[in-house]
Amino acid sequence: MHQIPLTFRLFFALTKIAFIAFLTCGSRILLAMEVTPAPSQFPMESLIGINGKPFSTRDVLNKEMVTIVFYLSPECGACAEQTKAITSNMNQMKDVQFLFVTAYSQESTEAFLEDHNIQNYENIRFGYDANLTLQQHYQLQAVPSIYLYNSIGQLIQEWTGYTSVEVLEAAVDGKIKSDSSREKDLKEMWEKVEECPEPTEEDFSKLCWDVVENLEDEDTGVYNYILTLRRLACVPKGSSPENTNKLIREWWNIYAPNIKCDLEVLALKNQNILKYAVHLMRKQFITDLVEEYEVNIDYPDDDGKSVLKFCEEEIVALKAKVPVDNEHLKNVTDICNNLKEGKKE
């Protein structure tokens, strides 16, 4: 097994297994170790493809076959052996949809892709976990790590360390049958998600107005912007909070740079929705995005400035006013600090 780059909050989990990873990297030896169990549902995150374009992990899940997620490092000897074992036995694994994932950059992975001819296999999708969202989903501690899912996205089995093709085949052939009612519910959920239409300019404008007006729905007591986000992300009715948050996070991370607000009520013109939220002190909206949905907020607008840079300028402008509106300044500062904490996560 091989140690991989992790975010700061995973550092201590990595430290616990660092010695084991050192001993087993580059070999097929698998030592007993305590591994955090993976979530039971297939991850719904955004990855970067070999062509440099983002794609959703939900696009990989195949209704006609099982899916294996293989998290690897191009610098890991055991990962190279695992890849060779899978590709050289693809005739036996042709009914499996593979998702190969790495946290390493495209440049550092080119040789690995060429050595194993990854692009020659129709049932292998390769993705770059640029934002480490999949790594965090699995609370990944070591590579290679392998996760087997049935056709509706339920986790069947997982392995850490080199795993023989014979073991993988046996697990695929004897895959666990899910509870029929749960299976039906999940199928309906995936069908609804897959039918989710592309958002329009009108959709973005509606979301902008929801943030500006900051009103709650009379029937549900939920903020209108939350209801709009649920609709745009095609969250099925009755979805669990976990699935709701994942769908909204995935939708946001794909479309957020395109959500421009051009409202006459403010001096801001054609700026992203986060800047409007800061300017209008929509603290709850920011809190929901950062803490509840854990979305990506650190992306540049057309002017090259991210919302974090906008925050700095907004605070400077408020301090320069005479007299200083201390309450306004405090509110904006709190919101900006919340955004900064969200970036650290």
Which pLDDT tens digit goes with each residue over 170-202?
A: 888 875 434 344 444 444 444 444 567 889 988
- Same domain? For 188 and 289 the reply is no
Whether residue 153 lies inside any domain: the answer is yes
Give the structural domain span for 43: 8-192
CATH number at residue 81: 3.40.30.10
CA distances from 292 to 171, 211, 246, 267 (A): 35, 16, 10, 29
pLDDT (mean) for 212-227? 89
**Is residue 188 located within the same domain as residue 331?**
no
Contacts of 114 (CB under 8 A, 6+ apart): none
- Find the CATH number of the domain harbouring 239: 1.25.40
For residue 112, being part of any structural domain is answered with yes
Domain boundary among 165, 192, 219: 192
DSSP state of 252: H
Residues 180 and 217 occupy one common structural domain: no
**Per-residue confidence (pLDDT) for residue 115, from 0 to 100:** 93
Residues 67 and 161 in one domain: yes
Please report, rounded to a whole number, the percentage of residues in the chain having pLDDT higher than 70. 80
Domain membership of residue 146 (yes or no) is yes
Same domain, residue pair 159 and 247: no
Instruction: Reply yes or no on whether the pLDDT at 342 is more than 80.
Output: no
Q: What is the tens place of the pLDDT at every residue in 230-282?
A: 999 998 887 888 888 889 988 988 888 888 887 655 566 667 888 888 888 88
Is 198 a member of any domain? no
Query: 288 and 221 in one domain?
Result: yes
**Better-scored residue on pLDDT, 265 or 286:** 286
Q: Please, what is the average pLDDT of the chain?
A: 80
Per-residue confidence (pLDDT) for residue 279, from 0 to 100: 83
**Token pair in block for residue 304:** 């090259």
Distance of alpha carbon 134 from alpha carbon 157, whole angstroms: 17
pLDDT, one tens digit per residue, over 131-170 is: 899 998 898 888 999 999 988 788 889 999 899 888 898 8
Q: Give the model confidence (pLDDT) of 73-114 as tens digits.
A: 999 989 999 999 999 999 888 889 999 999 999 888 999 999
273 and 225 in a common domain: yes
Closest by CA to 343, choosing from 292, 319, 300, 308, is: 308
* Shared-domain flag, residues 103 and 19: yes
Are 224 and 131 within one domain? no
1 is a domain residue? no
Whether 175 and 233 share a structural domain: no
201 located within any domain: no
Report which DSSP code applies to 291. Answer: I
Q: How many domains would you assign to the chain?
A: 2
Average pLDDT over residues 58-83: 90
Residue that is last in its domain, among 167, 192, 217: 192
Final residue before a domain boundary, out of 192, 227, 257: 192
Q: Give the pLDDT confidence score for residue 311 in this predicted structure.
A: 85
Is pTM, for the whole model, over 0.75? no
Q: Is residue 96 part of a domain?
A: yes
185 and 225 within one domain = no
Q: In this structure, is residue 197 part of a structural domain?
A: no
**Half-sphere exposure in the Cβ direction for 127 (13 Å, CA):** 25
Mark whether 167 and 234 lie in a shared domain. Answer: no
